[in-house]
Amino acid sequence: MAEVHGRRREALRRLLRAGGLDALLVTNLLNVRYLTGFTGSNAALLVTGDGAVFCTDGRYDTQSASQVPDVERVVERECGLSLASRSEGRVGFESDHVTVDGLTELQEAANRELTRAPGLIARLRLIKDETEVEALRMACAAADRALASLIEHGGLRPGRTEREVARDLDNGMLDQGASGPAFATIVAAGEHSAIPHHEPTDAPLKAGDLVKMDFGALVDGYHSDMTRTVVLGRPADWQTEIYELVAAAQAAGRQALTPGTALADVDDAARSVIAAAGRAEQFMHGLGHGVGLEIHEAPALSRAGAGTLAAGMAVTVEPGVYIPGRGGVRIEDTLVVRENAPELLTLTTKELVVV
């Protein structure tokens, strides 16, 4: 992994040279992790044109020696200030992360004005390397297996509560090797399934309910994201209708995931299917988002999305139709954009499952 992190720092140096910067002070912990592999709660990194200096406090001395063996280390409590005082030349800072008061302190420590440099590492994180994709595959597999186990053991049945099902999914992902859920698991049954981000309650599942489950696993710091909607017992005609509609929209969105396609066009590929059925107002959120070290990161697949897809981007495709007071359906996958066809990471069936 040291070699992987070294390549990422070298890619950052190319961006620094292109931007006329001599160094970048990295204080966002996720970006520090991306560039070094360090997983502790206090750290900063100064990346220069020909090297780097890493800082953490004494609690992480042993851990950082193991996780960051290839970078000069400094052990001090105030990491950002310490590295700012060591910086030279035209130094950038993460202006999308540092507070106004924090900037004042950093500039006083550096004894110079620092240069705004937002989004440099985010540009690198847009394209996942194979180490990252493998972590995403493992996270998606843990979620797939947790859902399969839940269904196999009768965990979806009338009388159980939304909260119990969510707890089972969380525990199932832990059993499958995840370090935890990627986000707060959503289980929404019956009319609650019409609420896109419903929080699980003690409401019991009932025969005839649509049950929407939006969940993901966290593996090696990387997040998976999947939504599946099932029905308890024989589906009503209206349930089958909207399920098939969402499935068609989701397939169209997946097929649009080709390098060079405008982000807004990917959203439109799926949204137009739902709009043509007269249900445009019942799909009220974006089509998807990037996933990685954060559960929601760039790019944004939405009508307002700016830019185009590129090979190596990891994204979700998650259209939905929500009918207030009755129920809703969402189908979501995590995928990686590839040159020929997207790589599907969430492998649970998208056929309507009747339990």
Region 43-68 average pLDDT: 97
With H, G, I as helix, E, B as strand and everything else as coil, classify residue 16: helix
Is pTM beyond 0.75? Reply is: yes
> How do residues 134-193 score in pLDDT, each as one tens digit?
999 999 999 999 999 999 999 999 999 999 999 999 999 999 999 999 999 999 999 999
pLDDT, residue 201, reads 98
| 42 pLDDT above the threshold of 90 | yes
| 1 pLDDT above the threshold of 90 | no
| 2 pLDDT above the threshold of 90 | no
Q: Are 10 and 2 in contact (CB under 8 A)?
A: no
Structure confidence at residue 76 as a pLDDT band (50, 70, 90):
very high
Region 60-74 average pLDDT: 96
Domains and CATH numbers, the chain: 2-125 (3.40.350.10), 127-354 (3.90.230.10)
Region 14-35 average pLDDT: 97
